[in-house]
A and B are shown apart, each in its own frame.
Chain A
């Protein structure tokens, strides 16, 4: 890496940081089937968002089907967001998702249909 590259990477981090504090990135929309068939693709979106310097804000309003692989992805997202010192927000959980979470004794601390206020 040349010094110019290094400088570039520093500036791009700064840009990402600025974008993060401005809350520019939209919420990631979870797929209708939050299952083993989609966790790899959805997980890649999570990683990309974290790498950009953003928070994990997830819109669960479309989730119609969920399995344990899908739930695990949410748990991993929460863990990774914490490790990177980012926020993890899940809103608009559907009944299907709520039912699965409550069976597993899990809660993401956000009431359904109530997006948190500190998003701006």
Chain B
């Protein structure tokens, strides 16, 4: 049974590349283009990991994180937050909200696969 990963980013090329990389590694992928869209798409579906950008329109990554962690089905689901190195305050806010894994943009597809494999295997 393959594991499902949700990628939330407003950049379609980012979603596409990360999505293809994850699928080629054997994961199922769910996409959301911002926090609000992701919440609607999750809707109680089982996911094993969420990868989310911090800067997004409509609902940013930190708000999304706080919302998703309120949900009983996702409160223990690991989250990788994507950020830029200049956003230390965002990182602290996100850590407090339960995001322990961070990746600094930009990164290569191999790097995100490496990070993902520390948290869930396909």
Contacts and interface: CB of A to CB of B under 8 A. Distances in A.
Task: Name the residue among A36, A37, A64, A65 with the largest chain B CB count within 10 angstroms.
Answer: A37
B76 A64 contact: no
A65 B76 contact: no
Interface string B1-33: 100000000000000000000000000000000
A80 B73 CA distance: 29
Interface size class of A (residues with CB under 8 A): under 10
A101 to B, nearest CB: 16
Give the interface SS of chain B, mostly helix, strand, loop or mixed. Answer: loop
Nearest to B120: A67
A102 to B, nearest CB: 15
A36 B76 contact: yes
A37 B76 contact: yes
A36 B120 CA distance: 13
A37 B76 CA distance: 7
Contacts of A36: 76
Contacts of B73: 37
B75 to A, nearest CB: 8
Interface of B: 1, 73, 76
5 contacts: A35-B76, A37-B73, A37-B76, A64-B1, A65-B1
